[in-house]
Structure 1
Amino acid sequence: MVDADQTFVIVGGGLAGAKAAETLRAEGFTGRVILICDERDHPYERPPLSKGYLLGKEERDSVFVHEPAWYAQNDIELHLGQTVVAIDRAAKTVHYGDDGTRARYDKLLLATGAEPRRLDVPGTGLAGVHHLRRLAHAERLKGVLTSLGRDNGHLVIAGAGWIGLEVAAAAREYGAEVTVVEPAPTPLHGVLGPELGAVFAELHQAHGVRFRFGVKLTEIVGQDGVVLAARTDDGEEHPAHDVLAAIGAAPRVSLAQAAGLEIADRASGGGVVVDEHLRTSDPDIYAAGDVASFPHALFGSRLRVEHWANALNGGPAAARSMLGRDLTYDRVPYFFTDQYDLGMEYSGWAPPGSYDQVVIRGDAAKREFIAFWVKEGRVLAGMNVNVWDVTDTVQRLIRSRTQVDTEALADPHVPLESLIA
């Protein structure tokens, strides 16, 4: 039985929003829960869009967070295909839909996520130019890769980040020809640095992917609405039947910004500024998932994390905070990828310039190893490649801030647990 005296509104129907709604009910909240999503699909998880679902190895229904009937069964008022257009903080209402429907809130959670950055070059309006963020994008791209593979077609990918590389792997499995254009000197340069970026370059090159590093896409050439080629700033023209823009994502902050909430600057990742309780500059408004910029005491920095685990854990944490639970959100960032026969898990935070060495435990040539990013003997991040059941230990090593013997860290015969003080 719903108690209408209190209303919690969640804006955003991704994993963070759906898990927040689930947690509110699990924690005993009996007030109204209103979940507003601008997509027409029920809340779903995004990793399959560039992994199993895109490859045809997972069914469409497998991506959804809950069965459609779950929302009514748990008294979640779900509004699909509705965009929140404004927040009135004084009246504590949100306005959504074409008719400006108003919903009053006692507490509000912003889980608006992120959106793909757009290419700013001629030709982006052609039909063969794609992005990958939503389920509809994945459905379309799945058909494109099937056709390219059947016809020996060419896909040009702008960007060698996680999405770009995962789609490149999927495209090669379908049989398409793939060229990746990346301004940095290695794939994943801003995340893994040059040392480990080279591992992914070699992996993809071994599977027939062509890389063009140190160059930018300058034009997509087409005729009668059809993509014919992609040009780069080194004067080259690359055959293309389709182009994927995979140049990163921007947090969807316009709603929060218009409401006068504090926004982090782009240099620190952007996003809605929250405290360690995931509370914004308005004490009745919270933010979680890709859009939230939160302080992390372990790393001494404000982070905005665009990965599945942050949505999975951040949504429930925000829900508990909205209920008045005393908590600090300080999960160690975690993400994973699957490309060809390589599976990887990464824990921590170590952007280029933050570490003084990378320590390898295992055989990098065989792609069976753990890499550690270390500064002054302390592990900032760890990445296990085709080595499993070590994530918890790696995260405990990061949290311990223990000064380790790097020779022991590199030695597979020395148990990782023994290095934790």
Structure 2
Amino acid sequence: MNESEAHRSIESVFRAERSVLLASLVQRYRDLDLAEEVTSDAIESALEHWPIDGVPSRPGAWLLTTARRKAVDRLRRDKTLAAKLAVLRADSDRAEPAHSNSLDDALPDDRLQLFFTCAHPALAADDRLALTLRCLAGLSTAEVARALLIPPATAAQRIVRAKNKIRVAHIPFRVPGPDELADRVPMVLGVVYSIFTEGYSATSGERVGRIDLVDEAIGMGRLLHTALPAETEVSGLLALMLLVDARRAARIGPDGQIVLLADQDRRLWNAEFIAEGTALVVEALGGGPSGPYAVQAAIAAVHDESLESDRTDWPQILALYDVLTTLIPSAIVALNRAVALAMCHGPAAGLHELDRLADEPSLRRYHPYPMAKADLLQRLGRLDEAAVHYRRALDFARTAPEKQLLHRRLAEVNGSIDQADRTDSS
């Protein structure tokens, strides 16, 4: 195996095994910094040995054994009592057969414990997200910074602050007990959904989103669903992510431009994701009172079940938005409900609802709001007003593809205005 092939193999293994390796080490040594350090040391050893010796048949076991040996070496250099106790445990680990410590064996997944630690309520919301991206998604500090659109120094500060809080506050590395889950699960799901939404629709830049973050979020959702199958909102969130991501191949045109839902080639949608997501919606809605993720997933399912855009069951979507409004009353939910209302009862009805949201602070710089108004005004033939709102949406759009879409829509309106002017003058 040449060096480049070894590096590709190591990268593939690292992406697949890193979070499992890190979680296993955190569970054993109760020290996130130590676990990260020896995880990195193990990868460096792999880079040194695998190009010569070849990739082991069980690379996860090799990395875990190597990381534990690195932990022994580091802990022996530390003279505190806590470190001496950890050395005793590490020495016993070293004496165990490699296969009993293998990441390739069917052992309990410690990632769930790390998950709940990273999303602990004692941590600030921004710090929770940064730490989860770092530890569970395996992003470097620089990648965390790019994902969250913050300077690398800020990302590093958030990660360090979260680790310090875990250490100082003695936050336990464990899955909460049944009496705590009701309060803690929504926080964990919020972190996962934040990762998914950032991946699906980036907040700035040249691309619409980041596929790697979407894939990581769905992977986290699968982990949570496997561990907590009775939690209906876990099923709901996984369903929502699958049903939305099912449209990935049709969402971006060959020229890199955004293709709106109504214009997508639905033959390109992922049928397996749709089937899995729809089954999860049934599971989420049938296990007790419906939560926000389950209802949003149901809305996505109605869209995905429509083979043609003009056959979408908009009355059902509107009814689901009515339910969602009672669960999470927000201006953005009201905006989406107004669009559904327009599809059911005409653009004037939708525009009336949008006008009622004009003073909502959260919508003042949210480009989908003026874009929705512009679309309804265009459909009503109020072209000059539509152009004003498309220009306003352009001022607030964050990514290059979003701006390109709005430029196209504005050009359509301006072309219609020019055509009308020529007709009037003749």
State TM-score, norm by structure 1: 0.26
Structure with higher RCO (Cα < 8 A, 6+ apart): 1
Q: Which has the higher strand share?
A: 1
Q: Which has the higher helix share?
A: 2
Structure number with bigger Rg = 2
State TM-score, norm by structure 2: 0.25
